[in-house]
Amino acid sequence: MEPPRRLNAAVPLLSGAKPISVVGPAHLLGNLGASPDSPCSEGSQGSFRVQLVSTNGMPVEYGPVMIRCDGAIPEIRAPDLIYVPAPQGDFEEALRGNRPYLDWLRECHARGTTVTTSCTGALFLAEAGLLDGRRATTHWCQADFFASRYPKVRWEISRIVVEDGGVITAGGATAYLNLMIKIAEKFLGRAQALSVARYALVDPERDSQLPYMVRWNRQAHGDSIVQKAQELLAADPGKPVSLTEVATSCGVSPRTLLRRFQTALGESPGEYLQGLRIEKAKELLERTDRTVEEIVAEVGYDDSRSFRRLFRRQVGISPKRYRRRYTVFPSSQEREEALGDGIGLPGCGSRAPVRGAQARPACAAAVLLKEDARPA
């Protein structure tokens, strides 16, 4: 039997980083296989020696928190792993204050170091060029910014953890916990990864940000025609409408609207409307006790099976599961089911469900998509 490996990990104390993105990952990394008594050491094939490093080897202050430093980056030439914390505040300021780290990341990666990050820490990896041509993820709410600024990166925003070419990125906020599970499995084995998952109370199979994502309709593109079309579609997403009608209202031809929409937003008007309808359905699932069939009609569909398939594809879970996970107002039937499953729902009132919602004609998105498919 091989003796446990002693691996070296470095966490750079970036200027303006979120303190929790430094302390949380450093703490977990340091506990991976640290001792036989550690709840993170079960089945471990090794452990990490974690070093907090800065440009000059001096401690770094984060508001009221002063974090010690174990050394300067020139002294750490090729650790097994680097975890890059996420910045907070202005991204441009974060880049200006941390330029010296970018060369260090590139050099270490070239020597074989696995470079990892979570949330918006992908900013530093992308700026260093480590993500060019590679698959990566980041916090979903910054997807537009990252896609625009770093077009060479193959962004997979719906994913929670993505590994490609010696670089591992993770999604937003607490996705760093899933990243730690991935790191444990990669370096220390599957048993260690499962031990970390149990200790951190994280589902090791959680692999999608889709259930948490909200469609933001404020992407800056500077096209007044597309902006007007967006406003028209958002005013009543469930209303049947054709591509020709939207284009006429915007004073352009359908072909021109399609081209400008694709250029500005990277999708067709039909796909955009489809996204609006899914967001409206999510809102109704969260905040009303209408049945799924009633919501299907409200958002402009007349085929609940097709809607359920579309919802699962775009959100990652079924409408029923989404409601049970995120509702602030469960229906009486779902409340009974939840109670039957042993799930307490204190403080949830009830009201009579809205009945008799009229079924809409075939969805406008389908009309738009059909027209989109016509030859120009």
CATH number where 97 lies: 3.40.50.880
- pLDDT of the residue at 352: 36
69 shares a domain with 186 = yes
Summary mean pLDDT of the chain: 86
Tell me whether residue 238 is in a domain: yes
236 shares a domain with 160 = no
pLDDT of residue 270 exceeding 90, the answer is: yes
Largest CA distance in the chain: 75
More confident residue, 44 or 366: 44
How far is it, in rounded angstroms, from Cα 87 to Cα 98? 10
The string of DSSP letters for 128-179 reads TTTTTTSEE---GGGHHHHHHH-TTSEE-TTBSEEEETTEEEE-STTHHHHH
- Cα 8 off chain centre by: 28
- pLDDT of the residue at 328: 83
191 shares a domain with 57 = yes
- pLDDT of the residue at 361: 36
- pLDDT of the residue at 2: 56
**Domain enclosing residue 110, as ranges:** 5-212
pLDDT of residue 115 exceeding 70, the answer is: yes
- pLDDT of the residue at 33: 77
pLDDT of residue 260 exceeding 90, the answer is: yes
* pLDDT tens for each residue of 204-214: 999 999 999 98
More confident residue, 176 or 362: 176
- pLDDT of the residue at 63: 87
pTM: 0.76
Instruction: Classify 291 as helix, strand or coil.
Output: coil
Confidence band of 315 (pLDDT split at 50, 70, 90) = very high
Q: What average pLDDT does range 86-100 have in this prediction?
A: 95
* pLDDT tens for each residue of 149-181: 999 999 999 999 999 999 999 999 899 999 999
Q: Quickly count: other Cβ atoms within 10 Å of residue 348's Cβ.
A: 16
The residue written with tokens 């994502």 in the block is 213
Residue 258 belongs to domain with CATH number: 1.10.10.60
